[in-house]
Copies of this chain bind each other. A is one copy, B any other.
Amino acid sequence: MLVSELAERADVPLATVKYYLREGLLTPGETTGPRRAEYDDSHLRRLRVLRLLREVGGVPVTSLRQVVEALDDEGLAVHDTMTLVADVISAGPGPQTQDPVALEIVDRVITAMGWDGIRAESLDRQRLASLVTLLNGPGPLAANVEVLTFYAGVADQLARAEIALVDHSTERSHLLEQMVTGSVVYGQVFELLRQLGHEHHHAQVATGSARPQPVGT
């Protein structure tokens, strides 16, 4: 297919596709003449992934370039690609504080969960420590190991389920695209469900019903 068709099929303005090509987010189509180039299904899939990351995940375009680099590096194991992508994708700027106390709280949670596959350089780990610093600074909120471990337990349920859901036997590129988009979209899905849960339970409190209890019924 030609660019215009690619753009139309992905429901993306042509100008934007050209922009992505310029930025190196899409590999140029196969040139079939001086003013002619052919694009295939892999381009279409890639473009869809990019739009999803941008629009649903809010991933900035500069980060997208890092994502495609990781995705296209055939020499990289699936696992390594995913950690690379994870470092880039999750929201917020890099960690600004390296408060050792917060880091230790985070590490204790990680240990309590038995999560032994986490790199010390994991940006998520450091970002989490920043948030803990923030929570334990001025203000009424506080994060302790117990609460965080509870959260981690819940998060673990999701992580397990999500990994179990993907078909691990498919080809590398398809598998990665599936995992990356899944992670982003289901992250949003969960966040919305959490908000809906809030809305319901707030209503419960407001109408004078019993306060919701954290664990059992």
Chain A residues proximal to chain B, CB less than 8 Å: 45, 48, 52, 55-56, 58, 77-79, 82-83, 86, 90-92, 109-110, 113, 115-119, 122, 124-125, 127-128, 131-132, 134-135, 138-141, 143, 147-148, 150-152, 154-165, 168, 174, 177-178, 181-183, 185-207, 211-215
Partner of A213, one of B86, B160, B204: B160
Q: Report how many copies the assembly holds.
A: 2
Min CB distance A146 to B, Å, is 11
The answer to whether A178 touches B140 (Cβ under 8 A) is: yes
Name 22 interchain pairs, CB-CB below 8 A, sorted by A.
A56-B131, A58-B58, A78-B206, A79-B205, A83-B202, A91-B188, A92-B188, A109-B193, A124-B195, A131-B188, A150-B161, A154-B154, A156-B197, A158-B197, A159-B194, A159-B197, A160-B201, A160-B212, A160-B213, A163-B202, A163-B211, A187-B191
Residues of chain B with a CB closer than 8 A to A113's CB: 197, 200
Tell me whether chain A's interface is mostly helix, strand or loop, or mixed: helix
- Closest B residue, CB atoms, query A58: B91
Residues of chain B with a CB closer than 8 A to A155's CB: 190, 193-194, 196-197
Residues of chain B with a CB closer than 8 A to A157's CB: 154, 214-215
Residues of chain B with a CB closer than 8 A to A202's CB: 78-79, 82-83, 117, 163
Known: A148-B193, A191-B191. 17 other contacts (CB 8 A): A48-B138, A52-B134, A79-B206, A82-B199, A113-B200, A124-B196, A127-B192, A128-B192, A128-B193, A135-B189, A141-B178, A154-B158, A158-B194, A159-B201, A160-B201, A163-B201, A163-B205
